Amino acid sequence: MLLLTYVRGHAPGKRHQSAHTLWAYKMQPTPVRKCADDLVAVVAAATRLHARCIAAAYGPSTAITFIPSSRFPDRRHPVANLARHVHIVAGAERFALGLGRGIDVPGRTVRSDRFVVPDQFMDRVQGRHIMVVDDTWTSGAKVQSAAVTLHEAGAARVTALVVGRWCDYTRSEHKTMLDSHTEAYDALVCPVSGEACTEAAV
Ligand SMILES: [Zn+2]
């Protein structure tokens, strides 16, 4: 999985900027444009500056999709716009996952019926390396469910690109991790290695 940032969720006092950005970029009815633009910049920079690192680690993606939701079932989903800004190699295709019967089954369980691959997109999935984009990783159930769906449809490989890992500041293990990572987001830090990246500067 490619994880771009950590989110300081449930922080005491004012909502932390990282949590605000991921929430407000898809706020309805009026998303905050600045937050959406910031996330687009993060996704575009990470996938462009580190394109070689990502391809070396995971292989080139041949198709890109995103995690839909029942609130935003189609390409109007704010995360679809993030997926649109993933820097891709020439020839990679895009497609949309559909919602399955199990989309809103409560509980953070991995289920192959939360999503479906529409028949018209099967040829973009079978035997391919799919990159799945989501804005937030909380339990990971959505992204992992989509990965199962794609594998069952015949995908050769699935790589997730997640903008923010939602951490809970009220949980001691998350608090310890968040308190040890206070530096601002830096696009030159490699999403593959987690280190400052010489490839990115070339
Ligand atoms: Zn890199």
User: In whole angstroms, what is the distance from residue 36 CA to residue 129 CA?
Assistant: 27
At residue 66, the pLDDT reads 96
Q: 90 pLDDT exceeds 80?
A: no
Closest CA relative to residue 159, chosen from 57, 39, 77, 25: 57
% pLDDT > 70, the chain: 99
CA of 18 from ligand 1 middle (Å) equals: 22
Task: Note the pTM of the prediction, 2 decimals.
Answer: 0.94
CA of 69 from ligand 1 middle (Å) equals: 30
Sheet with 2-9: strands ordered across: 2-9, 157-168, 129-137, 63-66, 93-94
pLDDT tens digits for range 6-16: 999 998 888 99
Q: What's the mean per-residue pLDDT of the chain?
A: 92
Query: Of 17-26, 154-163, 173-182, where does mean pLDDT reach its minimum?
Result: 173-182
Contacts (Cβ under 8 Å, ≥6 apart) of 70 = 99, 103, 104
Three-state DSSP state, 185: coil
Per-position DSSP letters for 33-86, written without gaps between them: HHHHHHHHHHHHHHHHHTHHHHHHHH---SEEEE---SSS-STTSHHHHHHHTS
Are 16 and 174 contacting, i.e. CB atoms less than 8 angstroms apart?
no
Cβ neighbours of 29 (radius 10 Å): 4
Q: 28 pLDDT exceeds 80?
A: yes
CA of 88 from ligand 1 middle (Å) equals: 15
CA of 57 from ligand 1 middle (Å) equals: 10
At residue 142, the pLDDT reads 94
What is residue 26's DSSP assignment? T
pLDDT tens digits for range 146-177: 999 999 999 999 999 999 999 999 999 999 99
CA of 53 from ligand 1 middle (Å) equals: 5
User: In whole angstroms, what is the distance from residue 64 CA to residue 58 CA?
Assistant: 14
CATH numbers and ranges of domains, the chain: 2-179 (3.40.50)
Give, as residue ranges, everything with CB less than 5 Å from ion ligand 1.
50, 53, 190, 197, 199-200
Element (H, E) at 106: none
188 pLDDT band (50/70/90 cuts)? very high
CA of 48 from ligand 1 middle (Å) equals: 9
201 pLDDT band (50/70/90 cuts)? low
CA of 184 from ligand 1 middle (Å) equals: 17
